[in-house]
């Protein structure tokens, strides 16, 4: 076990290496560049192959091919680059290819700026490419989780044969924190479907093309059931001080860290506040809200977007509880005092402003 | 106890290095620590800053709204971050670059350090930022010289032991200078508490 002081981006890369990732294809972009730098430096030394592709479109199809061989493979980018990868992602989901992607979100739409934002939630969780598919989406909130969830992502990808996306914002990518490695061994999965050379067996095909609607429907139903199975099993969230909470803040990633400070401040002022921090964004952890909906007086969603995750929160609350919202955009991070002020305003709770 | 430290100055002054060293030193002492830079299209000669939080409790947000220690390596940094400093916070001023005129609006404790002059006396002109760190050590209780020594070892490894040694000498010189000023309330301090 060794504790290092690392950037979130470096922790993602080291986590991937420790999970047995030996192939990396990507194209650099701020604020994710430390990932590709780390891989370029360390992957060859650990027996892997690193290729800087000519574009993100090329990178995702290199990932596609490598995943088809059954090797653990990763790429990383920021929202702009992930946009370019959407076609390949749809193809990978259709072909049930396991791989890990990382989106270190900067601002959008378009070229945007370099600051942290959470505006790619829809793209990540609601498809983004064509067709009925989902990525599994994990949202770390610390440098330790950048490492841990990346390792977990490789296991989930292999277990469910689906691309897994780490969705983190630029602040998490750029910040440094202590991070401990060495506590876990990578799991190994049999991959009888992989194209590893057909000598002595029937050849494996990785393809999603067929012209018979009846076959197409069978495939669609199969994928639908697979995703439903994942939705039942994987709903992860951190709950903080929710046991007796009357008001619950809901946030992920960097926003969740700031919201946790707000919960602490509210508690110090006698307000029974708590926090739900979704860790799986797809599947969204709706089950966590079910018992809270019966007794909570209000939710306050905090995001660095115009309001994206709030739609899933509203669906999870089934209209039973008011849902308020606070956001900053364009690379500005929501501030502690602003959130407190919005809380007081939204729920008419006086006397909490220090 | 939580320290919220901002290090700010020109690119090339070691702003990020000083901040990271605080983070590494806190980590080797077993404290929690976060470090986050201002990043983006920065360039040599432009402004740079980083925020460091250290303490024994969980650090929720890595961002700083109320600063306990401000390292101001140049005048624009002093002016920019001064409003965030707590009334009982400490402003560590690079006196070799920042004139007394700039300190008019300082309402917390400010230590004006002749950092470059001290470093030149040591013969290691570039270690002036380590002199500032030495002064900082004398204004707080979370970290000591041994923590910085171990943090530096973890941070830069054993590649350049001579640089670690000269950095430690500069830290010691900063500590000595501060103690010669009479500890926490030396003559050179512009102590304009409101």
For residue A261, which residues of chain B lie inside 8 Å, CB to CB? Answer: 60-61
| Mean pLDDT of chain A, nearest integer | 96
The span from the CA of A234 to the CA of A265, in Å, is: 31
A350 — pLDDT class (breaks 50, 70, 90):
low
B28 to chain A nearest CA, in Å? 9
The span from the CA of A214 to the CA of A30, in Å, is: 45
What does the pLDDT read at residue B11?
85
**Strand order across the beta sheet in which A247-250 lies:** A237-240, A273-278, A247-250, A298-303, A323-327
pLDDT at B9 over 50: yes
Residue B126 burial by Cβ neighbours in a 10 Å radius (0-12, 13-18, 19+): middle
DSSP secondary structure letters along A66-115: HHHTT--EEEEE-HHHHHHTHHHHHHHHHTT--EEEEEEE---STT--SS
Residues of chain A with CATH 3.40.50.970: 2-187+208-233
Average confidence (pLDDT) over A281-295: 98
Do residues B137 and B113 lie in contact, with contact meaning Cβ atoms separated by under 8 Å? Answer: no
- Nearest by CB to B65, from A115, A175, A335: name it: A335
Average confidence (pLDDT) over B140-155: 96
**Cα A280–chain centre separation:** 7
What does the pLDDT read at residue A210?
87
The size of the A-B interface in CB pairs under 8 A is 61
What does the pLDDT read at residue A2?
86
Q: How many CB atoms sit inside 10 A of residue A138's CB? A: 28
The CATH number given to A237-347 is 3.40.50.920
Q: What is each CA distance from A191 to A186, A188, A217, A234, B155, in whole angstroms?
A: 15, 9, 25, 22, 41
Do residues B51 and B85 lie in contact, with contact meaning Cβ atoms separated by under 8 Å? Answer: no
pLDDT at B192 over 70: no
B44 — pLDDT class (breaks 50, 70, 90):
low
Half-sphere exposure of B187 (CA within 13 A, CB side): 3
Q: What is each CA distance from A14 to A22, A46, A180, A192, in whole angstroms?
A: 11, 11, 11, 28
Query: Would you say the C-alpha torsion A128, A152, A172, A249 has a positive or negative sign?
Result: positive
Peptide bond just before A283 cis, omega within 30 deg: yes
Asked if the Cβ–Cβ distance from B61 to A336 is below 8 Å, we say yes
Average confidence (pLDDT) over A111-123: 96
The percent of residues above 90 in pLDDT, for chain B, comes to 74
pLDDT digits (tens, 9 = 90+) for A66-77: 999 999 999 999
Question: In 3-state terms, what secondary structure has residue B112?
Answer: strand
The span from the CA of A347 to the CA of A298, in Å, is: 7
Asked if the Cβ–Cβ distance from A5 to B32 is below 8 Å, we say no
What does the pLDDT read at residue B40?
61
Q: CATH homologous superfamily of domain B2-191?
A: Pyruvate-ferredoxin oxidoreductase, PFOR, domain III (3.40.920.10)
Q: How many CB atoms sit inside 10 A of residue A150's CB? A: 29
Average confidence (pLDDT) over A159-188: 95
What radius of gyration do chain B's Cα atoms show? 15
Asked if the Cβ–Cβ distance from B40 to A30 is below 8 Å, we say yes
Average confidence (pLDDT) over A148-166: 98
A336 to chain B nearest CA, in Å? 8
Average confidence (pLDDT) over B63-80: 94
Question: Of B62, B152, B157, which to mutate for an interface test with A (greatest number of A Cβ within 10 Å)?
Answer: B62
User: Residue B101: which residues within 8 A CB-CB, separation 6 or more?
Assistant: none
Average confidence (pLDDT) over B28-54: 86
pLDDT digits (tens, 9 = 90+) for A37-64: 999 999 999 999 999 999 999 999 999 9
pLDDT at A3 over 90: yes
The span from the CA of A142 to the CA of B58, in Å, is: 11
Asked if the Cβ–Cβ distance from B60 to A176 is below 8 Å, we say no
B47 — pLDDT class (breaks 50, 70, 90):
confident
**Residues facing B32 on adjacent strands:** B55
| In chain B, domain spans | 2-191
Residues of chain A with CATH 3.40.50.920: 237-347
User: Residue B116: which residues within 8 A CB-CB, separation 6 or more?
Assistant: B94, B96, B97, B125, B128
The span from the CA of B5 to the CA of B84, in Å, is: 11
What does the pLDDT read at residue B43?
64
Instruction: Look at the pTM and tell me if it is higher than 0.90.
Output: yes
What does the pLDDT read at residue B194?
29
B20 to chain A nearest CA, in Å? 8
B190 — pLDDT class (breaks 50, 70, 90):
very low
For residue A264, which residues of chain B lie inside 8 Å, CB to CB? Answer: 60
- Going by the DSSP 8-state scheme, the letter that residue A333 receives in this structure is P
**Strand order across the beta sheet in which B67-72 lies:** A2-7, A176-181, B32-37, B47-55, B2-10, B67-72, B85-94, B109-113, B190-191
Tokens 């007394």, residue located: B100
Average confidence (pLDDT) over A213-219: 95
pLDDT at B72 over 70: yes
Please state at what angle helix B128-137 crosses helix B115-122, rounded to 10 degrees. Answer: 110
Q: What is each CA distance from A127 to A32, A90, A163, A167, in whole angstroms?
A: 22, 8, 12, 14
DSSP secondary structure letters along B119-178: HHHHT-GGGHHHHHHHHHHTT-SS--HHHHHHHHHHHHTTS-HHHHHHHHHHHHHHHHHH
B188 — pLDDT class (breaks 50, 70, 90):
very low
**Residues facing B51 on adjacent strands:** B6, B36
pLDDT digits (tens, 9 = 90+) for A226-278: 999 999 999 999 999 999 999 999 999 999 999 999 999 999 999 999 999 99
Average confidence (pLDDT) over A313-342: 96
The CATH number given to A2-187+208-233 is 3.40.50.970
Asked if the Cβ–Cβ distance from A336 to B34 is below 8 Å, we say no
pLDDT at A354 over 60: no
B61 to chain A nearest CA, in Å? 5
């Amino acid at each position: 076990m060794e504790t290092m002081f690392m950037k979130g981006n470096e922790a993602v890369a080291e986590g991937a290496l420790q999970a047995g990732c030996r192939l990396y294809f990507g194209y650099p972009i701020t604020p994710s560049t430390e990932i590709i730098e780390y891989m370029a430096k360390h992957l060859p030394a650990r027996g892997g192959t690193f290729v800087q592709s000519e574009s993100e479109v090329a990178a995702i199809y290199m990932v596609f091919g490598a995943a088809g061989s059954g090797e653990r493979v990763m790429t990383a980018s920021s929202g702009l680059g992930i946009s370019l990868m959407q076609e390949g992602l749809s193809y990978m989901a259709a072909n049930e290819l396991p791989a890990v992607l990382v989106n270190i979100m900067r601002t959008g739409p378009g070229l945007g700026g370099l600051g942290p934002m959470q505006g790619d939630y829809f793209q990540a969780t609601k498809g983004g490419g064509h067709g009925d598919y989902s990525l599994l989406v994990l949202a770390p909130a610390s440098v330790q989780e950048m490492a841990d969830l990346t390792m977990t992502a490789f296991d989930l990808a292999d277990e469910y044969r689906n691309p897994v996306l780490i969705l983190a914002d630029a602040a998490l990518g750029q910040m440094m924190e202590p991070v401990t490695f060495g506590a876990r061994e990578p799991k190994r999965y049999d991959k009888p479907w992989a194209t590893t050379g057909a000598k002595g067996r029937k050849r494996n095909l990785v393809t999603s093309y067929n012209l018979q609607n009846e076959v197409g429907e069978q495939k669609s139903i199969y994928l639908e059931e697979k995703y439903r199975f994942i939705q039942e099993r994987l709903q992860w969230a951190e709950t903080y001080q929710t046991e007796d909470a009357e008001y619950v803040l809901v946030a992920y990633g960097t926003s969740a860290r700031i919201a946790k400070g707000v919960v602490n401040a509210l508690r110090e002022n006698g307000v029974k506040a708590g926090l739900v921090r979704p860790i799986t964004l797809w599947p969204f952890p709706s089950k966590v809200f079910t018992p809270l909906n019966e007794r909570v007086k209000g939710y306050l969603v905090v995001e660095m977007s115009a309001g994206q995750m709030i739609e899933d929160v509203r669906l999870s609350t089934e209209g039973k509880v008011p849902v308020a919202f606070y956001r900053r955009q364009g690379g500005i991070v929501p501030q502690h005092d602003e959130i407190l002020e919005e809380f007081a305003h939204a729920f008419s709770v006086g006397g909490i402003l220090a | 106890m939580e320290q919220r430290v901002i290090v700010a100055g020109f690119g090339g002054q070691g702003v990020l290095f000083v901040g990271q060293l605080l983070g590494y030193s806190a980590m080797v002492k077993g404290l929690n620590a976060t470090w986050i830079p201002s990043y983006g299209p920065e360039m040599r000669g432009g402004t740079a800053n980083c925020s460091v939080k250290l303490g024994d409790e969980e650090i929720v947000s890595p961002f700083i709204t109320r600063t306990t220690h401000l390292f101001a390596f140049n005048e624009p940094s002093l002016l920019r971050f001064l409003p965030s400093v707590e009334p009982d916070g400490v402003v560590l001023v690079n006196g070799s670059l920042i004139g007394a005129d700039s300190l008019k609006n300082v309402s917390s404790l400010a230590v004006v350090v002749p950092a470059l002059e001290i470093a030149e006396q040591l013969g290691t002109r570039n270690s002036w930022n380590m002199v500032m760190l030495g002064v900082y050590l004398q204004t707080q209780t979370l970290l000591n010289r041994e923590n910085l020594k171990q943090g530096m070892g973890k941070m830069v490894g054993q590649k350049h032991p001579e640089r670690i040694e000269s950095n430690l000498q500069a830290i010691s010189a900063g500590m000595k200078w501060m103690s010669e000023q009479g500890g926490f309330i030396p003559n050179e301090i512009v102590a304009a508490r409101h």
